[in-house]
Amino acid sequence: MSELLMDAPAAGAQEAGEVVLRLSGVVKTFPGVRALDGVELEVRAGEVHCLLGQNGAGKSTLIKVLAGVHRPDEGQVEWLGEQVSFGSPQAAMKAGIATIYQELDLVDYLSVAENVYLGHEPRSFGFVQRGTAARQTRELLARLGHGEIPAHRLVRSLPAAGKQIVSMARALSHEAKLIIMDEPSAVLAHDEVGNLFRIIRELTAQGIAVVYISHRLEEIREIGDRVTVLKDGRTSAVNLPARTTPTRDLVSRMTGRSIEYVFPPRAQQAPGEKLLEVKGLGRTGEFADIDLDVRAGEIVGIAGLVGSGRSELLETVFGARTPDAGTVAVDGRPLPPGNVAAAVRAGLGMAPEERKSQALLLGEPIYRNMTLTTFSGFATAGFTDAGREQAEAMKVADLLELRPRDVRRAVRTLSGGNQQKVVVGRWLLGGTRLLLLDEPTRGVDVGARAELYQVIRRLADQGVGVLLVSSEVPEVLGLSDRVLVMREGRVVHTAPAEGLAEEDVLDLVMAGSLTATDERTEEQS
């Protein structure tokens, strides 16, 4: 692999540890997507090996290969010196590989002990030994430094940090030799992260290997030994020292994509009057002190990691969530908080991230999905004029170049890109002046993406204001006129899109500052 960047092992526990896991040329393909394309990885006993990469780089797929959810199509997975292919999560767990996902897979209505030994309960003569399970659970919790958690307590009553401890105890109950942690700090407060790191250090001191996945560079610096970077399903760097590798090197290995992003040219004219003004908006635990505005004909993009508060902000602006502080105003008039109907009357429309479950009636025809918010306008004396409904929907279908054009088809028969056009078309029928888009191209193929970009830009050229959220940095930069970067619930940077590089945005979302830009400037000087 010509672009593979390697380095000598960092000083630390891994120098003495044997290799417990080695991946060579691992490939995993799904219909139309090569999620992993020759991944290399080496993990040693007693080390914290950090996995770094943008959204869509292949981290989740790699985790699922290691956890036995997916089998690789090509390549080799060696575990404890032997080539393996886990057929199920149970097989991976039995072999000693435990995975703690960001969304913890615990059963809320079972006790701590029942969760720890779920599926492999201690038995005698076929009967579950609940007392033994409780005693062994207490021993595991004490080993993790949390013997105060009662084994009989229902998991649903525990805080997020407590649930994470239970997941670790479950991993230890399987005598795990490798624990994979997917964004473990995402649900933790600052002081709880310190406790998590203490536990990780104790585990590695016992020879247990940890694969730690995080977007937060400061965490990788503090807890990591070595780093492997994924980009577009490929390994772009392996075995980098976590504490000493410059930020610019890590960021540069994460940037660049194999997918072609074809964006329409930006508007040449200046944006119009201010449509949306948000001041001091906040929701406890989600985001705080947000100021932003969107003008007619302007596309404003919000970049940030999952969990940074981007989607929650959009939903609050739309009235689907009620803020704890701040105001939302359209045309200078404040909107009542937590009131979707008032937002729609003011000219706001929203296409949510989960369009199939939150925005579409999959069994209904296209035209009925388009007229959901204007349905009453097609009724006379209690009867619906389906012909006029279809005719108006057809005008929008032509405008958006919907394929196929038959608006009587069930919306479930459309591709992801055309389903998204239907959601956008619904708001156009209602005369929307400000469109909120949450992950507008999620699940959309490359060709349909370009069409959606054209649709969004065309709407802006016609004076519609657009506020969009996307996990894909090239999409935010290529489509937007102006970009806001969010990190941990706050806007940390606002700038014209043309003045930002992809490396700049990644610096901001991961480190909170333009460190890579500063380092590049120092090098040039």
Paired strand residues for 403: none
Asked whether 269 and 263 are in contact (CB, 8 A), the reply is no
Distance from the Cα of residue 381 to its chain's centroid: 47
Q: Distance between CA 395 and CA 127 in Å, rounded?
A: 67
pLDDT at 182: 87
* Residue 349 and residue 218 in one domain: no
Q: Distance between CA 479 and CA 499 in Å, rounded?
A: 13
pLDDT at 352: 85
Q: What would the pLDDT profile of 190-225 be if each residue is shown by its tens digit?
A: 677 888 898 899 899 999 999 999 877 788 889 999
CATH number, domain with residue 323: 3.40.50.300
Whole-number average pLDDT of the chain: 84
Residue whose structure tokens are 């009542």: 336
Instruction: Report DSSP state, residue 410.
Output: B
* Residue 29 and residue 76 in one domain: yes
Read off the pLDDT band of 11 (50, 70, 90): very low
- Residue 505: inside a domain: yes
* Residue 120 and residue 153 in one domain: yes
CB atoms within 10 A of CB 336: 12
- Residue 338: inside a domain: yes
Overall average pLDDT of the 478-486 stretch: 94
Give yes or no for residue 486 having a pLDDT over 90.
yes
Last residue of a domain, one of 121, 151, 176: 176
**437, 404, 399: which is closest to 418 by C-alpha?**
404
* Residue 349 and residue 441 in one domain: yes
pLDDT at 386: 78
- Residue 304: inside a domain: yes
- Residue 365: inside a domain: no
* Residue 88 and residue 181 in one domain: yes
pLDDT at 343: 94
- Residue 390: inside a domain: no
Overall average pLDDT of the 10-15 stretch: 39
By residue range, what is the domain housing residue 166? 104-176
Residue whose structure tokens are 């990885």: 41
- Residue 140: inside a domain: yes
pLDDT at 292: 96
pLDDT at 446: 54
Outline where DSSP puts E strands in 317-425: 325-330, 333-334, 348-351, 379-380, 383-384
* Residue 281 and residue 234 in one domain: no
* Residue 353 and residue 441 in one domain: yes
Tell me which of 414 and 438 has the higher pLDDT. 438
Outline where DSSP puts E strands in 17-81: 19-30, 33-44, 48-52, 74-79
Q: What would the pLDDT profile of 69-115 be if each residue is shown by its tens digit?
A: 999 999 999 999 999 999 898 899 899 998 888 767 788 889 999 98
* Residue 85 and residue 36 in one domain: yes
Give yes or no for residue 505 having a pLDDT over 80.
yes
- Residue 412: inside a domain: no
Read off the pLDDT band of 9 (50, 70, 90): very low
* Residue 40 and residue 64 in one domain: yes
Q: Distance between CA 15 and CA 349 in Å, rounded?
A: 56
Question: pTM for this one?
Answer: 0.59
- Residue 222: inside a domain: yes
Domain count for the chain: 3
